[in-house]
Structure 1
Amino acid sequence: MKSTPAIFVVTGAESTGKSAVTEWLAKYYNVPYIPEFARSYVEKLKRPYTYKDVEIIASTQIKEIAGYMNSNYPFIFVDTWLIITKVWFEVVFGKSPLWLEDEIKKYKINIFLVCDIDLPWVPDPIRENGGEKRIMLQNRYIEIIKTYGFDYKIVSGINEDRFINALNIIEERIK
């Protein structure tokens, strides 16, 4: 019988292991995960991204999660999600689309696993926010998560410890 799966979002500032944690948890539980779409989208652009590009990214995130809302899976994992996209709009463009608010409110997120900034920031062609900005963004993500009334836990640790700490949080949720 199909039902709405629980949604576990792995989020946090750049270079905190979000994608690795998301993929590891999904493999461990043998459930699907929605990878970060923004990275692959921006990597393919041959120009600087625009407001419209970020709208496309947000719309794609919404479509991807909606595709799992009537499934046989007990839960799914999502890498980043709309909270980061909302903050991205606000920081880069000074505003976010009104429809994004409605979409964020529409979903019941079981918990946000916020990957700690205890890992070093590693630059790459897509990343923009190291140093103090990384700290500011991490705090802003948590602030927004709280504003919407979502539950969250910080996931810290180096290498395997990070995965085990994330796993322990999920285990508590699915008991």
Structure 2
Amino acid sequence: MPSVSRVAILGAESTGKSTLAATLAAHYNTLWVPEYLREFVETYQRTPQEHEQFHIAVTQVRYEAKAIQRARSFLFCDTTPLMTALYSRFYFGRIDAPLEALASTHSYDFTIVTPPTSPWVPDGLQRESPEVRQTIHEQLLATLDARAIPYLLVDGDAEERVRRVTKHLPAQD
């Protein structure tokens, strides 16, 4: 079985991560892993509490592990434990040790960041404000830099974003 590269798509709320993940998966004829947090919020009709953050990150990783078995060349991951950790620190003032350990050790082959330049769209319980979105974006870039995680910042409409990503991802069979 050929190797599959896991591609993290990171960004604050309402920056087009899901759209980009789905579009790239279609472009490369492979799979993408939706953000489990959205499923959690829809299922429980509330935002998660602090003690649920690790569960959310572990479930996200579990979904990746299932999908990578069927993916071809790339698996596009709409968020990662790192984003769960960032939001945990933002909303609860800390990251618990198991979540920090998972966020620090679960790595990806390529990281894409979607900036907060598209119009902010409220989405029920999951999105707070354009100001929070900007703050999370700044914290994300600082965290990636501090952890020496290289990333590609992609902006523009969906077509432009895909064009930029495909210039940087190696061609796969």
**For structure 1, which runs of at least 5 residues remain unmatched after alignment?**
none
Task: Classify 1:45/1:110 alpha carbon distance in 2 versus 1 (closer, same or farther; 3 Å).
Answer: same
Aligned residue number for residue 165 of structure 2: 166
Q: Secondary structure in 2 aligned to 1:85? A: helix
Task: Please give the root-mean-square deviation of Cα atoms over the aligned residues, in Å.
Answer: 2.2
Give the TM-score normalised by structure 1: 0.86
Aligned residue number for residue 106 of structure 1: 105
Question: Percent identity at matched positions?
Answer: 27
Q: Secondary structure in 1 aligned to 2:144? A: helix
C-alpha separation in 2, matches of 1:75 and 1:48: 30
Equivalent AA in structure 2 for residue 102 of structure 1: A
Higher mean C-alpha displacement, 140-149 vs 31-40? 140-149
Equivalences for residues 1-175 of structure 1 within 5 A: 1=1, 3=3, 5-68=4-67, 73-170=72-169, 173-174=170-171
Task: Classify 1:53/1:101 alpha carbon distance in 2 versus 1 (closer, same or farther; 3 Å).
Answer: closer
Cα offset, 1:169, TM superposition: 2.9
Equivalent AA in structure 1 for residue 142 of structure 2: E
C-alpha separation in 2, matches of 1:169 and 1:121: 27
**For structure 2, which runs of at least 5 residues remain unmatched after alignment?**
none
Task: Classify 1:165/1:72 alpha carbon distance in 2 versus 1 (closer, same or farther; 3 Å).
Answer: closer
Give the TM-score normalised by structure 2: 0.87
Equivalent AA in structure 2 for residue 145 of structure 1: L
C-alpha separation in 2, matches of 1:142 and 1:109: 16
Deviations 1:108-142 (A, max 9, x none): 31221101211010112033332322111101111
Equivalent AA in structure 2 for residue 56 of structure 1: H
| Aligned pairs, number | 172
Equivalent AA in structure 1 for residue 167 of structure 2: N
